[in-house]
Structure 1
């Protein structure tokens, strides 16, 4: 793996320059692929209501064929994955604000390998929130599962506690794949999202 921990996050202005406003939403181009946003409601079991929306990346190639984000990220180097990750977050926040969603969290997905450093992550969020006049406390960085122990050390060991940063951290799909109690203890998330299969088992009493 290449060491990219010292690479600075792209300025918000540089990311925004890559966005294009279409008929109803913002989009972007990245290496011949078209990027768009989709938003999925996040339901709180405790509150029995929607508490936010998860931003999902929709990718199509030049021929109009859909590409799974995981497949695209798997084919690029760490530095490129970081660039794509930052562009996707900018795109999602632009669309979230464009839709006028005034309450609830926005969950922005990231792979551990795409995270540069604690300071860079904070700086990137600061830049986007400042430009869009969006409250930091409504931003949740959602860590996607990733096998092989390929976590960046800062994300596991050096990430500031909740009181020392402005955004929240969520762990994705607990109860499936690599998401288990060990990862909860290591990541120390503010929010744990349960895998659908775990919820179904609990509802059926299994």
Structure 2
């Protein structure tokens, strides 16, 4: 696999972003658990999502709840660096899969400046940029839609894959799609739960898949727990799937994928 050249972090740090230039790196008691997104057509991992965990075993919700507004930038940066560091140590890029990182758009002041520490971590560990995917949750309250669109444009121009997570969980999904085209959308688990026995859910997902195909956006289903759910989604054309059916998140490890 050929690696995309890494831009010089100094070149990408324009003057004027004081938070990026002066905010010190902070230590957070965090690690990452990894869960695969599986291409059921091949049985191989398409990506591994990095999910923040506390060193005491606490989940993402508890960790994020303890982060104050004044620390959101430093926390977002720390999560990116930790995810890349662990992924490199685990040889994730050698699997051919992407590394999916959840990012906080309200913590990104200026996209090309605030990516600096991500680039430094990637360069330090020789992790290819074209193996990075950034997920934005539809459920997150955004301060500025124009700012988000700018982030996505800049990220895609630097070779990153972009995704909207929890699609269908809130009311902004279609509006976000109208503003920008991510590479992927991840259907919220409430849309796919028990889909094998629910005609209404199948009709909704069938419509979403058709719309995304026309837009050139790939669809991922998350929260898959049973073989029947997986097979129903594959029949609808959703072959990228994530959930306990395939593997539970593993702390600082790439879990085996269930057949």
1:22 equivalent in structure 2: none
Q: List runs of 5+ in structure 1 lacking aligned partners.
A: 19-28
CA, structure 1 residues 83+149, in 2 after alignment: closer, same or farther (shift >3 Å)?
A: closer
What TM-score do the two structures reach when normalised by structure 1? Answer: 0.72
Using the TM superposition, give the Cα deviation of residue 147 of structure 1 relative to its aligned residue in structure 2, in angstroms. 4.6
Three-state SS of the structure 2 residue aligned to 1:130 is helix
Paired residue for 2:120, among 113, 117, 127? 127
1:182 equivalent in structure 2: 175
Using the TM superposition, give the Cα deviation of residue 203 of structure 1 relative to its aligned residue in structure 2, in angstroms. 3.9
Deviations 1:170-197 (A, max 9, x none): 1111111345211222342111111222
Matched, 1:94 2:85: yes
Three-state SS of the structure 2 residue aligned to 1:66 is coil
Matched, 1:137 2:149: no
Structure scoring higher RCO (CA < 8 A, sep ≥ 6) equals 2
Three-state SS of the structure 1 residue aligned to 2:113 is helix
2:58 equivalent in structure 1: 66
CA, structure 1 residues 65+58, in 2 after alignment: closer, same or farther (shift >3 Å)?
A: closer
CA contact (8 A) 1:38 1:55 kept: yes
Matched, 1:38 2:33: yes
Aligned length: 182
Aligned mates of 2:159, 2:22 — CA distance in 1:
19
CA contact (8 A) 1:175 1:194 kept: yes
Deviations 1:84-143 (A, max 9, x none): 110111111111111122120000111221222221244333222211111101000111
CA contact (8 A) 1:117 1:155 kept: no
Aligned mates of 1:119, 1:196 — CA distance in 2:
32
Map 1:1-206 onto structure 2 (within 5 A): 6-8=18-20, 29-30=27-28, 34-44=29-39, 49-60=44-55, 64=56, 66=58, 68-69=60-61, 72-73=64-65, 75-77=67-69, 79-101=70-92, 102=94, 103-151=96-144, 153-157=146-150, 159-160=152-153, 164-178=157-171, 180-200=173-193, 202-204=195-197, 205-206=199-200
What TM-score do the two structures reach when normalised by structure 2? Answer: 0.59
RMSD between aligned residues: 3.2
Aligned mates of 1:151, 1:194 — CA distance in 2:
23
Greater fraction strand: 1
Three-state SS of the structure 2 residue aligned to 1:169 is strand
